[in-house]
Chains A and B, each alone.
Chain A
Amino acid sequence: MTALLELEGLTKAYPGVVANDDVSFAIARGGVHALLGENGAGKSTLVKTIYGLVKPDRGRMRLDGYPFAPTEPREARAAGVAMVFQHFSLFDALSVAENVALGMETPPPIRDLARRIRAVSEEYGLPLDPARRVGDLSAGERQRVEIVRCLLQEPRLLIMDEPTSVLTPQEVGILFATLRQLSAQGTSILYISHKLEEIRALCDAATILRGGRVVGGCDPRETSAAELAERMVGAKLSAPKAGGGAPGDTLLRVEALSLPPLSQFGMPLREVSFELRAGEVLGIGGVAGNGQDELLAALSGERLATPGSVVFEGADVSRLGPVARRRAGLLTGPEERLGHAAAPDMTLTENAALTGAARKGMLRRGFLDWGRARDFADEVIARFDVRTPGAGVAARSLSGGNLQKFVIGREVLQEPRVLVVNQPTWGVDAAAAGAIRQALLDLAAGGAGVIVVSQDLDELLEISDRFAALNAGRLGTPVPTAELTMERVGLMLGGAHDMEATHA
């Protein structure tokens, strides 16, 4: 096989960080090439360079042997490079056909385009209605829009950036079949991921990035997952230990909780019921957009529920706001760090007061004691090893992992009776993720109840005592994690609740 795309010494620096440092490798014609690395390893910058969104400081690329230096995505597309993005490339209010048209150089009239969309989606087994509004589609369908958009341009190189993070295991299977079909037809695929098993199943070559540098290449079919992981992370990880111990009294009971969606394109909650006991970790899995944000809002008190649907330590809290719930000991940590869990432009001291004011005695007749807020911020920084020059800096100046440690630490150190967190380790480096998971386990071991909502199945299976899946706003019956297989989890995520019922 000859190389389709060759990269030579690509280097790109941003203030304070070298995102890509002398990166070189080649992608074979018709090959499925994995680009493997942790969050922050420089994968995104590299693909943006290939797609013409980022201009490298040094280095060059050759496509088909000819120099290739796209200055904008249009040029890259014209040269036959297409990309399926991880986030941010669809327009909710526009139709499928309009979204596809926006990704093409010279789209045909909408009616012809609709016909071609149908043809391509049938050919590759990706059913799609061109007239539907993208905002009404599921995550899997949205991804199909992106893939079809790329396929219509008959690309020579298809870049997939973390394509499976929003898919159920079954949907992943469909995607892989499509990709194999493409590869057999001669299209090269650059597959970006940090999920090792996927890469071993799909790819025929791999390049591993760490800290912006290439740390090696290999044939993933012949390399063990453990070896890949070690090269990707660079150090042995300390896996969190399960808390163990028998669960205690029921702390939180949610009964037939139903809520309309948060936004036009949100997901309603439908009759969600579960119980959480002292000392246990309940894992709630599910593909993004299946009601996670809504569930969090209903538990935090940001949205009020019907009376009797949220009962905390025997008291009905469903009509109480966030402040009252916090006072009672029900704490939450939302997914979005910047702008939701923390105010980006405010100092860490102010962000400490954001949720800690009541439980940490910072309030006196409506007035805030900033001295105590600062002490609390310092305590969080010290106990959770938050790397920052001090509590006086703005939250957005912290790296993702450090800010996450801060916002989780802020809740954990308030000694909650129940803590609910959504995506606690999303976009966080491995070391920080380990620390956060350990803190959650310690909290449960100390007698609190913990709910972890996450899309990372490995994480959930690792730390939770029981597991339940959220699908289309419905929550399945929680099942002890020890009894689970990956296949069963996949079925649960897909919404096969009946099976659980017969099983239980």
Chain B
Amino acid sequence: MDLSAISPTLLVASLMVAATPILLAALGEMVVEKAGVLNLGVEGMMIMGAVTGFVAAIETGSPWAGFLAAAIGGAAMALLFGLLTQVLLSNQVATGLALTLFGLGLSALIGQGYVGIKATSLGRIDLGALSDLPFVGRVVFGHDPIVYLSLLLVLGVWAFLRFTRAGLILRAVGESHDAAHALGYHVRRVRMLAIAFGGACAGLGGAYLSLVRVPQWTEGMTAGAGWIALAIVVFASWRAERVLVGAYLFGGITVLQLNLQTAGARVPVELLSAAPYLVTILVLVLISVRAGRGGAAPADLARPFHAST
């Protein structure tokens, strides 16, 4: 095995790229769960974002149009979930699963004419001399805009939940919908907005996969990324800054695993490809050991709300 083939600079730079889809999706889902809704359809929304983003980017020639379409596509899927769970009061777990199964099927259908095409690249932000700095230049200043957007979003969500009144209301709704309702807050409206935001984020994450990371469309290309995003929310104990840590940790494992494969490590390829999933399980186990049961989860997570009076 040739470990010298692994460059630490590239490793860290590609780590950020590998982590971005999951970071976006996990951040969105965290907001949804903070509002007291468990949407297990992240995988479905991501894959729909991946396909709508890819198709829009190819048809218009603009990757930006692609990302916009992906956010809309993800949000549309999420609102479908919102309609079922918030208005028709269906079971959130079952509906989330349905969203994933439906998304996987529908995305394959939409994307069937686009397999094997390569998307136009988004390009890096060129910061001139800064980007030419050794290591730091490539790692900190050499990325595409979406990577920076995702980091800004982390900051934004953190500040929103912590400092704004709307953020306080969102947390209150997730903590106790009955109390929020009694005080006159619109539980369903707040939750719908959160759900739509979560869907848009998942869509963006999916589009990042199909437009930047891979960059082409293949069926089922999210390969569990949405589920891993869900695990990261638990890992992060519903805090934005920890979502970032979790996603980058996960990105690191993915990239390291790929690098080890190309470097010809004497570990079975299948074990390396399974590594991200095994690590996710391990992380889930470790958090359960640490947190006991429940922990920092919003108190009304996944409980249906029906204003009876």
* Contacts from A to B (Cβ < 8 Å): 14, 45, 48, 52-54, 72-74, 77, 85, 88-94, 98, 101-103, 107, 263-264
Contact = CB atoms under 8 A, between A and B. Distances in A.
Nearest to A45: B309
B165 interface: yes
Chain A interface helix/strand/loop/mixed: loop
Contact of A264 (B175, B182, B294, B298): B294
A91 B165 contact: no
B309 A54 contact: yes
A74 B185 CA distance: 9
Contact of A72 (B169, B172, B184): B184
A68 to B, nearest CB: 16
A85 B175 CA distance: 17
Interface in B108-167: 165
A69 B159 CA distance: 37
A94 B172 contact: yes
Nearest to A71: B184
A98 B169 CA distance: 10
A53 B309 contact: yes
Interface in B150-198: 165, 168-169, 171-172, 175-176, 178-180, 182-185
Given A48-B309, A93-B299, A101-B165, A88 B184 contact: no
A77 B184 CA distance: 10
A92 B299 contact: yes
Nearest to A98: B168
Contacts of A93: 171, 175, 298-299
A102 B164 CA distance: 12
A72 B187 CA distance: 13
A89 B183 contact: yes
A92 B176 contact: yes
A45 B308 CA distance: 12
B29 to A, nearest CB: 19
Nearest to A87: B178
Contacts of B294: 263-264
Contacts of B298: 93
B184 A73 contact: yes
Nearest to B292: A264
B183 A101 contact: no
Contact of A89 (B168, B169, B179): B179
A239 to B, nearest CB: 34
A163 to B, nearest CB: 15
Contacts of A14: 309
A77 B165 CA distance: 18
B182 A101 contact: no
Interface string B10-41: 00000000000000000000000000000000
B182 A89 contact: yes
A94 B179 CA distance: 12
Contacts of A48: 309
26 contacts: A52-B184, A74-B184, A85-B182, A88-B176, A88-B179, A89-B179, A89-B182, A89-B183, A91-B172, A91-B175, A91-B179, A91-B180, A92-B175, A92-B176, A93-B171, A93-B175, A93-B298, A93-B299, A94-B172, A98-B168, A102-B172, A102-B180, A102-B183, A102-B185, A103-B183, A263-B294
A102 B168 contact: yes
A34 to B, nearest CB: 22
Contacts of A73: 182-184
Given A94-B172, A102-B172, A107 B165 contact: yes
B183 to A, nearest CB: 6
Contacts of B185: 102
Given A48-B309, A93-B175, A102 B169 contact: yes
Contacts of A102: 168-169, 172, 180, 183, 185
Contacts of A85: 182
B278 to A, nearest CB: 31
Contacts of A45: 309
Which 9 A-B pairs have CB atoms at the shortest separation, nearest pair first?
Answer: A73-B184, A88-B178, A91-B175, A89-B179, A89-B182, A72-B184, A88-B179, A74-B184, A93-B175
Nearest to A73: B184
Nearest to A101: B168
Contacts of B169: 102
A53 B182 contact: yes
Contacts of A92: 175-176, 299
Contact of A53 (B165, B172, B180, B184): B184
Nearest to A93: B175
B87 to A, nearest CB: 19
Contacts of B184: 52-53, 72-74, 77
